[in-house]
Every structure is written in structure tokens, then in C-alpha cells.
Structure 1
Amino acid sequence: MEYIPNVLFTLILALGIGFFVRNIKKLSRNIRLGKDVDVSDNKPTRWKNMARIALGQSKMVVRPIPGILHIIVYVGFIIINIEVLEIIIDGVLGTHRIFAPLGKFYDILIGSFEILALLVIIAIIVFWLRRNIIKLKRFFKSEMSGWPKMDGNIILYFELVLMTLFLTMNGADYQLQQMGAVHYVEAGYFPVSQFIAEFFDGFSVSTLIVIERVCWWLHIVGILCFLNYLYYSKHLHILLAFPNTYYGKLTPKGQFKNNDAVTKEVKVMMDPSADPFAAPAEDAPMPEKFGASDVMDLSWVQLLNAYTCTECGRCTSECPANQTGKKLSPRKIMMDTRDRLEEVGKNMDSNKGVFVDDGKQLLDNYITKEELWACTSCNACVEACPVSIDPLSIIMDIRQYLVMEQSAAPSDLNNMMGNIENNGAPWPFNQMDRLNWKTES
């Protein structure tokens, strides 16, 4: 009977980690639906970017108040995971505070955990107030209604409950240590939870053990639930921010990539030995699509971008098109891409791993032409993103599809391109008339 809690804990741990691994495999499969792209260059620079942006949070502190609060939550969760490691070992082996023999170092660890837990609670309360009382404008755009709005609050409640359980568990543990309860060795320093322990004065040992054990179980089960909730939440960036910043764009922001499909076609046209009227060979591959109309036409890095989106709205708040009332929201572009990718993934799950055409695509069914053509390609969204997401690359790829595959550019753009073709300039004037102004008196 004494081993039942250990077996139960091990089973819950295995189920929690197993479900998480299953979702990560699904996530990896969905990202790999994108086109292959070579991002193996400049590894030292990529490692530096990951360390500076993802680990160092350098772009978060551009806005100091939310940036510092985010760092507190971020550091708190990373460091407190050391405590989670102790809980897991204790749960499997049936021990209690197995790291206690570390002595003074253990005291410092527990003390720092508690101070960070308190700071995390304060930061969470401020974040909740900003969302629900102050109601910052960027959290209330049209794309943030329904699940995205709910998700932002759920994750705050999750974090608040986990930190409260941690401190309450320690408070009961501290009181049990003072009472000399069996199995509760005197270890750790409790600068925060010792005040919580004052509420437990007069409680019996058996009652305190129940409180401590209930908080212990709820805390670790809550962490496993939180881990598996990440896949369904914008907080997936906790895991993906690191690879996303590593694979982020290194070229200057104003430099657009050449389309390989266009390059191939131009090379064929310029090949003097090529017969433009020759029928394609039977085994010849289908010509590659110009641009993108669906998620499978994007690169895997762009799909990784979509899953990494934090929905913070910094990109949208900096977008000049959005500021002037136009429909474009770079955040919505990323959210739409992720939603479509999830839809494609569920389609494959239902059809034994094969995508069956569902009559939908990213263009029109998710992202409208009005949104795409509102973009000024200024890169403000790319500069603002705290985790190196590039919404502009998706916008430009879909625009390229509209122009080169559907000839569906706006009339003003068609007029300009016609003028360039006929007159060598965007303006509707004959080349011979360009210098007429010089001869006028």
C-alpha cells in the first residue's frame, strides 16, 4: 500500500509527458509541411541572436514596464523548474526534499524560489490589470475576441494558481518542520511562506500533512497540465522562441529574397538551346507555383513563425496601415496562418496522414486581399516583434501569387507596371517627352 502513491505519480507523469511528446510530434509534422529552406549559414550570428533575443529578452525591454515584468515571470519559471525536478524525484522514489543534503545551497535555492514566486504573482496581477481593467488597445483588436482573449487570461490564472500552491505547500511544510513531524526534515529557507505558515497556527500535524500533500499533488499535476496546455495556447512561444530566433532572418530587413521558381523560368527563357514550344516530358515535374496561396506554399521557417506568435500585438500597434484604420493587422496574419495550418493538420489526422483537398486555402478563406494590399512593406512589424517573427514575408509571398498567378494586382499597381513596361518609368509619359520641362522658358 505504501508504494501506491509512487506508482500513481509515475503513471500520471508518464501520461503527462507522453501526451506532450505526442503533441510535439504533431507540431513538428505541421511545420515540416512547409517548403524546405536553407538556414544553415552564419551559425555564430544565429546563436548570438538566440542568446540575445530569446534568452536575454533584449527586444522585450524596448517597452520597459511590460518587458521587466515579463523577465520576472520568465526567469521565475525557468529557475523554479529546478524545484519541479526535486518534486519529480520525490514523487517517483517516495522521498521528501531529496536535495536537502545540499545544506546552505539548498536554503538559498528555496529562498530564491520563494522570492521569485512572489514577484511572479505581482507581475501576473499587473498583467491581468492591463488586460482587463486598463484594457490596453492592442489587446482588444477584432482578432483578439473569443478564444485568443480567453487564452490570455487562462494562462495568467494558471500561473497564479501554480505559484500560490507552491507557496502554500512550503508554508505547511515549514510549519510541519517546526513541529518536528516525521518525514519532514528541517531544510530550506522560507522568506515568503513562513508568513503563510502563521495562518496554520493551531492546526494538527495530520491536517497540515493533508494541506501540504494536496498542494504538492495539485502543483505537480498543474505543471503537467500547463505543459500540455502550451500546444493549444499562444504560450507555445515559451518553447519555440529559441529555435525561431535562431532561424530568424539575417539579411537587411529591406532586402527581399529572390523567388526560385521565377529564377528557374528566367534561366529557361534565356537559354538559347531551349525550345519554348517543346512539349514537357512525361516525367517532368509540375512547374512550381509563383508565390503562396496556402500554408504548404510557405517555408517551414514561416510556419514556425506562425506557431511562435505570442499574440502580444506589438507588430499591429506599430503598423502604419493599422494605425490609419486599414484592415491589416500583422498579428492576424500570423494567427490566420497558424489556424489554417492547424486545420490542415486535423485534416491529415482524419485521413491517415494524407491531406485531402478541403476546398479552402489561406488566401481568401483566412487572409483577404484588402489586408494584403494595405501593407506598405515598411518592416515596422518585423522590427517590433520580440521573438523575430516576419509577417511581411508571408504578405509578400501571397501578393506574389496574386500578381504572377492570378494577375489580380490592384488597378493602380497594374497601371504602374504597364507604364514601366512601355515608358521605362512609373509615370504615363513617353520617354521622348521626359526632358521637355528643360526647354520651357
Structure 2
Amino acid sequence: MQFIPNILFAIALILGVGYFSRNVKKLIRNIKLGHDVDVSDEKGKRFNNMLRIAFGQSKMVVRPVAGIMHFIVYIGFVIINLEVLEIIIDGLFGTHRIFSSVLSSSVYGFLIGSFEILAVLVLIAVVVFWLRRNTIKLKRFLNPEMKGWPKNDANYILYFEVVLMCLFLTMNATDAPFQEMNSGNVISGFMAPWFSGFSEGTLHIIERSAWWLHIIGILVFLNYLYFSKHLHILLAFPNTYFGSVHPKGELDNLESVTNEVKLMMDPNADPFAAPANPDAVPAKFGASDVTDLSWLQLLNAYTCTECGRCTSECPANQTGKKLSPRKIMMDTRDRLEEVGKNIDANGGEFKDDGKQLLNDYITAEELWACTSCNACVEACPVSINPLTIIIDMRRYLVMEQSAAPMELNNMMSNVENNGAPWPYNQMDRLNWASES
């Protein structure tokens, strides 16, 4: 009988970690649906970016209020959950606060005291975040793409944080042996008198209940991440590492187009020669669906925090155009999830569903509203690049569907015929110099 709690704990831990591992495999599978891209260069610079942006939160604090609050929650999440290790050991082996017997009372007290202070700071930060979203109603949280699930998801995670922090403090406040240590109970020591009227047995039940709910809540939270925008808690680190280290104005060249140009410039090439592999599917110019994107772009989509900084900085959005860089990333992730579910439902193979990212999720109007200014890329706190997806989809519209706006078609025709964007004959280009 005495081992039943340990067995139940082990079962809960195995189920929680097992389901999380299953979703991680699915996540990796979905990201690998994108084509390969070489990100093996500049390893030192990439590692520095990860330390500075993901660990150091350097781009978050550009907006001080949100940045500082987020930093508190981030530090609280990382440090407070170190006590999860103690809970896991206690749960598996039936010990109680095992680290208090391993560490000196002063060190253990300092750690727990730090956790309690951070728990209170996290509670304050969460309240501020909730007010900003639901009472102050900042404009960037009210865009059309933030209706329904995205709005609820943001609030659910705030409620989750409140419950977890309150359970942690309640667990400490009702733990009589810990309170008797009088070391580390910097917050729970003030809460302990609230339970002074309860018997020792009742206190123990409250403490055990808070303990169980706290660890189960953490396991639920862990598995909720896959379905939430808060997946960035895990993916921000690889995303900032693999993010572009090239100048923001530098666009990549399509290999398929480059090969065509090289063929055209080769005087020895036979334009009528049969292809080396007649059964090969011709490479698509640009992207119309998620499988045409790179795995890095798909990683970007899963990493999106839905904070809206990109959209709030977008000049096209500010002038009332339909484009929202945040929606581009959310739509890409939603379509990727749809493709992943299709694969799951069809035994590991994708069955054509008659849909694609272009038009069914993202319209041409959104794509052509982009000015390619990179404001969204600069604003993103976790190095997401919506512009690369926009550019690839515009390439598809131009080169596969000849569906560019009239103004752009006119410009391209002028470049082809006149060597310049303007409708002037090349022979007349210097006429301005003779005018006096």
C-alpha cells in the first residue's frame, strides 16, 4: 500500500512524457516536410544569436514594459521549474524534499526563497499581461486573426501560470516541516497563518493535494504546448540559432531559375536537348503550399509567438492594407497542421485535399501589399522571417501563374524590351542631356 502513490506518480510521469514525445515526433515530421536548406555556415554567429536573443531576451526588451514582464515570466519558468526535479525524485522514491537533506539548510533555503519571490513576480507579470490583453485591449491583440482560439489560447496560458504559482506557494505554506525550518519561506511564511486553524492531518492533505495538482498541472502544461502558440518556449532556441545571418535585404536566388539562366548563357548548350531524367518532375518556381517551403520556414511558423510586433511595425498594415505578417505565419502553421493530420489519417501518405496555402489561406492581395521593407523581420523577438514566405509565394504567382499585378507586368515588360523600368526606347535614354 505504501508504494501505491509512487506507482501512480510513475504512471502519470510516463503518460505525460510519452504523449509529449509523441507530439514532438509529429512536430519534427511536419517540419521535415519542407525542402532542405543549408544553415551550416557561421556557427559562432548563430550560437551568439541564440544566446543573445533566445536566452538573453535582447529583442523583447526593446519594448520595456512587455519586455521586463516577459523576462520575469521567462526566468520564473526556467528557475522555478528546477524544483520539478525535486518533485520527480520525491514522487518516484517516496522521499520528501530530498534536496533539503542533500544541500545545507542555508543553500536550500536560498533556493526555495528565490523560487517563492519569483512566483510572486510571475503572478504580478501575468496580471499585467491579462490587463493588457483584456482590459486595456492593445490594438495589436485585436486584429482579425486574433479572434477565437488565438485569443483564448493566450488567456488560457495566463490562467495556467496563476494556478501553478498559487499551488507552489500553497504547497510550501502548508508543509509543516518546511515551515519549521524557517528558511526559504519568505512568502509562504506569511501565508502559513491562513491555515493555522486546520489540524495537522488536514494540513497534510492540503499540502499533498497542492503537490499532486502542481506536478500534474506541469505535465498537462507540457503537453498543451504542442497545441499552443507557447510552443515558442521550446522552439525559440533552434529558431534563433538557424535564423538568417545574412543582411536583411539579401534575397536568395532560386536554384531552378539560376540553372535556366546558366543554360541560356551557355553558347554550347542545346535548347532542344532532351532532359537528363525525363521522368523527373520539373522544379516548381516559388511556393504555393507548405511543402514548397523550406524546413526553416516551417520551423518559423511553429515558433511564432503571435505577439503581433511584426504586424504593428508593418507599414502596409498601418496604412490599412490587408497584410498582417503575423497572419502569414499563423496561416502557414495552420495549413501545415492540416497537412500533418491528412498524413496521419492516410497511413503516412498525403492525400490531395484540393487545398493549398495560396488562396485557401493567404490571398494574393496580402502578398502584393508587402513592401519588402523587413520591418517585420527586425521586430520579431525570436528571429522569424515572414518575408521569405511572402517572396516565395509571389515568385510562384509571377513565374508559374503569370499573375502579377498590371503595374508589375508593365515594369517587367519594359525591362525586357527597353532595359529599364520606364517605357522609353533605349535610343532615347540620353535625350534629357541634350535638352537645355
TM above 0.5, yes or no, is yes
Q: Which amino acid aligns with 1:289?
A: K
Contact 2:80/2:115, CA 8 A, preserved across alignment: yes
Which residue of the partner structure matches residue 99 of structure 1?
A: 99
Shift of 1:193: 0.9
Partner of 2:77: 77
- Which has the larger displacement, 73-82 or 278-287? 278-287
Question: Is 1:222–2:224 an aligned residue pair?
Answer: no
Number of positions where the alignment pairs a residue of Structure 1 with one of Structure 2: 434
Partners of 2:276 and 2:420 in 1: how far apart?
40
Q: CA contact under 8 A between 2:172 and 2:178: conserved in structure 1?
A: no
Equivalent position to 2:150, from 148, 151, 170: 148
Corresponding residue number in structure 2 for 1:2: 2
Query: Within 5 A, what are the aligned runs for 1:13-412?
Result: 13-101=13-101, 102-103=103-104, 104-173=106-175, 175=176, 177=178, 186=181, 188-281=183-276, 283-412=278-407
Q: In structure 1, how many angstroms separate the alpha carbons of the residues matched to 2:173 and 2:409?
A: 70
What displacement does 1:345 show? Answer: 0.2
Task: Give, as a single letter, the amino acid of the residue that structure 2 aligns with 1:95.
Answer: T
Q: Tell me, yes or no, if the aligned pair for 1:53 and 1:245 is still in contact at 8 Å.
A: yes
Partner AA of 1:298 in structure 2: L
Q: CA deviation at 1:273?
A: 3.8
What is the letter of the counterpart of residue 409 of structure 1? Answer: A
Using the alignment, how far apart are the partners of 2:263 and 2:351 within structure 1?
33
CA distances 1:387-429 after superposition (whole Å, capped 9, x unpaired): 0000000000000011011111000000011111111111111
Letter in 2 for 1:240: L
Structure 1 residue 198, shift from structure 2 partner = 1.1
Q: Which amino acid aligns with 1:225?
A: V
Are the structure 2 counterparts of residues 270 and 437 from structure 1 closer, same or farther at C-alpha, using a change threshold of 3 Å? closer
Q: C-alpha separation between the residues in 2 aligned to 1:82 and 1:248?
A: 29
Q: Distance in 2 between matches of 1:28 and 1:286?
A: 26
Structure 1 contact 99–106 (Cα < 8 Å) conserved:
yes
Question: Sequence identity of aligned pairs in percent?
Answer: 73
Deviation of 1:284 after TM superposition, in Å, equals 4.4
Q: 1:216 to 1:188 in 2, by over 3 A?
A: farther
- Between stretches 216-225 and 423-432, larger displacement belongs to 423-432
Q: Is there any run of 5+ residues in structure 1 with no aligned partner, and where?
A: 181-185
The C-alpha deviation readout for 1:22-79, integer Å capped at 9, x for no partner, is: 0000000000000001101110000000000000000000001100000000000100
Rounded to whole Å, the distance in 1 between the matches of 2:66 and 2:129 is 8
Residue type of the alignment partner of 1:324: T
The runs of at least 4 aligned residues of structure 1 exceeding 4 Å deviation read: 281-284
* Amino acid aligned to 1:7: I
Give me the whole-angstrom Cα distance separating, in 1, the residues matched to 2:91 and 2:108: 19
Amino acid at match of 2:126: I
In structure 2, C-alpha distance between the alignment counterparts of 1:430 and 1:129, rounded to whole Å: 61
2: CA distance, partners of 1:352 / 1:56:
42
CA contact (8 A) 1:171 1:196 kept: yes
Displacement after TM superposition at 1:213 (Å): 0.5
Match of 1:99, SS state, is helix
Deviation at 1:282, TM superposition (A): 5.5
Amino acid at match of 1:365: D
Give the match's secondary structure for 1:74. helix
The answer on whether the counterparts of 1:169 and 1:212 sit within 8 Å (CA) in structure 2 is yes
Note the residue ranges of structure 2 that are not aligned, 5 or more in a row: none
Following superposition, the deviation at residue 276 of structure 1 comes to: 1.6
8 Å contact kept, 1:31–1:303:
yes
Contact 2:32 2:295 in 1 (8 A): yes
Residue by residue, what CA displacement relative to the aligned partner does 1:307-361 show, whole Å, maximum 9, x if unpaired?
Answer: 0000000000000000000000000000000000000000000011111111111
